[in-house]
């Protein structure tokens, strides 16, 4: 770790300076997989963030001299590439203005709501788009600087959709993959985007454009067919320059074995028992864990639960709902509004239905380490995952990985990508509050044998198609 100015590095310099520093495998994502931490002696260090993506890619990166290109999380700061935990990390700087326009604006107030069915109103601003183009160009240059001849580059997610074609123009020798972690919308919605054709062309610079679900891949191919008139066959899109690009689903997953092992640690089991006790040892613990995001259907699920308690369908002496909402994108207006709405709703439900020392909802606006999450998954009985639209939803899979006793129930929105694989969950439509209430009751009233049957089948799925399988399926196709 040696932060200092790097703005002027150009490709030749990088090549001359450290031929051995060039990477045969490059991952590019909006964020680097590290967090900056301040140690007790006030020095600053980096810690690898424990996400599934980095866990899956570490072995590939180590084997192939990999590098990860991404923003390091603070504005107006330019850092030199550095090595952390054996990973070569290449920070991309963002100014305060780019943070507002490229990240909070175009990425999270235009593309994010538009790609999630327009569940919040997407805003379109030309300055945001200009900033998105600039930042995508900067990422492209950093990748081109670090990638060895013929290297494989894997670009991640909606913040970087222009990178594949920009990179191909600079470096036609590279193999380029792209994976979209969020939904790809139906063409009727996608068409609202003033820069729709640039986005499609941007993505088509990749050899493989990966999506979470077959429906996402089909939406993309349809947009390409209708807007650009490029035909596709068996997922392969024929391009005017003679190349072909494959648009296909690769549903992402988690490090299932790792999560299970974590949940089985004695300290985590102990903590799970503590959590149950702290919640008053109720008969049923319902659990929701989400980023505080309007796509997650948090209000809908709390309303459904509150009504069941108010109507006496669930006994307030027997049930508790633990809702964790991790702070997210707090400077974006829609997220601020949502926080206030949820604060109000939680206050109202507890105010109406609570008794002295007993509240049906425990609401935590905070983020927790993996150990605490594993303890919550273990402590819960009914996991409630009700997004209005979600690319995959890994929380649903993490809960399943932690249930080595094959008990517990998963209530899952049919609008989460995970519903394509977890067909034995209790599937719900989050817009249908009565339907959701009925499914919650069904999950509670089913026999333990029925819940076990469902859980067994879902565990088989999650342990077979884990994050390693996802990465190797994608990279094997890309290597062909
Ligand atoms: C989603 C996106 C990711 C993003 C994450 C956290 O999962 O698909 O690309 O990194 O949310 O959001 P943030 O804006 O904090 O990076």
**Where do the domains of the chain lie, and which CATH numbers do they carry?**
8-253+467-479 (3.40.50.2000), 256-464 (3.40.50.2000)
31, 52, 53, 398, best to mutate for ligand 1 pocket (most atoms within 8 Å of CB): 31
Q: What is the pLDDT of residue 48?
A: 87
Q: What is the pLDDT of residue 2?
A: 37
- Calculate how far, in angstroms, residue 210's C-alpha sits from the geometric centre of ligand 1: 17
380 lines ligand 1 (CB under 6 A): no
Q: Give the tokens for residue 437.
A: 């209430």
116 lines ligand 1 (CB under 6 A): no
Q: Give the tokens for residue 422.
A: 């977890």
CB-CB neighbours of 129 under 10 Å:
19
Ligand 1 atom at minimum distance from 182 CA = 8
Ligand 1 atom at minimum distance from 157 CA = 9
Q: What is the pLDDT of residue 101?
A: 98
- Calculate how far, in angstroms, residue 387's C-alpha sits from the geometric centre of ligand 1: 15
390 lines ligand 1 (CB under 6 A): no
pTM of the predicted model, to two decimals?
0.94
Q: What is the pLDDT of residue 65?
A: 85
115, 139, 157, 296, best to mutate for ligand 1 pocket (most atoms within 8 Å of CB): 157
Q: Contacts from 452-457 at CB under 8 Å and sequence distance 24+? A: 452/406, 452/407, 453/424, 454/409, 454/410, 454/424, 454/425, 454/426, 455/400, 455/403, 455/406, 455/407, 455/408, 455/409, 455/410, 455/424, 456/406, 457/424
49 lines ligand 1 (CB under 6 A): no
Running along the chain, 480 residues long, what does each successive block of 10 average in pLDDT?
Answer: 36 39 95 92 88 80 90 96 92 98 98 98 98 98 98 98 98 98 98 98 98 98 98 98 98 95 98 98 98 98 98 97 97 97 98 95 96 98 98 97 98 98 98 98 98 98 96 96
| DSSP letter, residue 235 | T
108, 109, 328, best to mutate for ligand 1 pocket (most atoms within 8 Å of CB): 328
Q: What is the pLDDT of residue 20?
A: 54
SS3 51: coil
Range list of β-strands (E), 282-407: 284-291, 319-326, 361-365, 382-385
- CA 373 from chain center: how many Å? 16
- CA 60 from chain center: how many Å? 20
291, 295, 417, best to mutate for ligand 1 pocket (most atoms within 8 Å of CB): 291
Ligand 1 atom at minimum distance from 103 CA = 14
At 26, which helix (H) or strand (E)?
strand 23-31
Nearest CA to ligand 1 atom 11: 291
């Amino acid at each position: 770790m040696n932060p200092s100015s790097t703005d002027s590095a150009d490709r030749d310099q990088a090549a001359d300076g450290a031929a051995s520093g060039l990477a045969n495998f490059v991952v590019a994502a909006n964020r680097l997989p590290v967090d900056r931490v301040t140690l007790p002696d006030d020095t600053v260090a980096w810690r690898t963030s424990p996400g599934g993506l980095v866990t899956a890619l570490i072995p590939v990166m180590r084997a192939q001299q990999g590098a990860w290109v991404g923003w390091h999380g603070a504005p107006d700061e330019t850092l030199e590439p550095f090595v952390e935990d054996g990973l070569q990390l290449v920070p991309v700087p963002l100014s305060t203005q780019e943070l507002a326009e490229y990240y909070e604006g175009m990425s999270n107030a235009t593309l994010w709501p538009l790609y999630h069915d327009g569940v919040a109103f997407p805003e379109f601003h030309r300055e945001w788009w200009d900033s998105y183009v600039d930042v995508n160009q900067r990422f492209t240059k950093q990748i081109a600087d670090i990638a060895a001849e013929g290297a494989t580059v894997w670009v991640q997610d909606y913040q970087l959709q222009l990178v594949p074609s920009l990179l191909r123009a600079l470096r036609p020798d590279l193999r380029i993959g792209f994976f979209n972690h969020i939904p790809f919308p139906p063409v009727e919605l996608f068409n609202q985007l003033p820069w729709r054709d640039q986005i499609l062309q941007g993505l088509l610079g990749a050899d493989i454009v990966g999506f979470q679900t077959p429906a996402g891949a089909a939406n993309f191919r349809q947009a390409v067919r209708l807007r650009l008139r490029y035909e596709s066959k068996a997922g392969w899109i024929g391009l005017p320059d003679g190349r072909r690009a494959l648009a296909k689903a690769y549903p992402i997953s988690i490090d299932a074995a790792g999560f299970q092992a974590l949940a089985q640690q004695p300290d985590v089991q102990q903590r799970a028992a503590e959590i149950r006790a702290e919640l008053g040892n109720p008969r049923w613990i319902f659990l929701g864990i989400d980023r505080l995001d309007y796509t997650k259907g948090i209000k809908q699920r709390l309303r459904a639960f509150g009504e069941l308690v108010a109507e006496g369908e669930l006994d307030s002496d027997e049930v508790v709902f633990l809702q964790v909402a991790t702070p997210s994108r707090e400077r974006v207006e829609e997220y601020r509004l949502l926080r206030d709405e949820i604060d109000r709703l939680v206050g109202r439900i507890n105010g109406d239905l609570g008794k002295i020392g007993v509240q049906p909802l425990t609401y935590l606006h905070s983020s927790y380490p993996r150990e605490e999450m594993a303890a919550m998954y273990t402590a819960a009985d009914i996991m409630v995952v009700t997004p209005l639209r979600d690319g995959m939803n890994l929380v649903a899979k993490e809960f399943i990985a932690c249930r080595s006793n094959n008990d517990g129930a998963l209530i899952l929105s049919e609008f989460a990508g995970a519903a394509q694989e977890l067909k034995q969950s209790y599937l719900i439509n989050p817009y249908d509050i009565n339907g959701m209430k009925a499914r919650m009751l069904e999950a509670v009233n089913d026999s333990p044998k029925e819940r076990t049957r469902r859980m067994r089948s879902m565990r088989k799925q999650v342990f077979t198609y884990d994050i390693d399988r996802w990465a190797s399926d994608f990279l094997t196709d890309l290597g062909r």
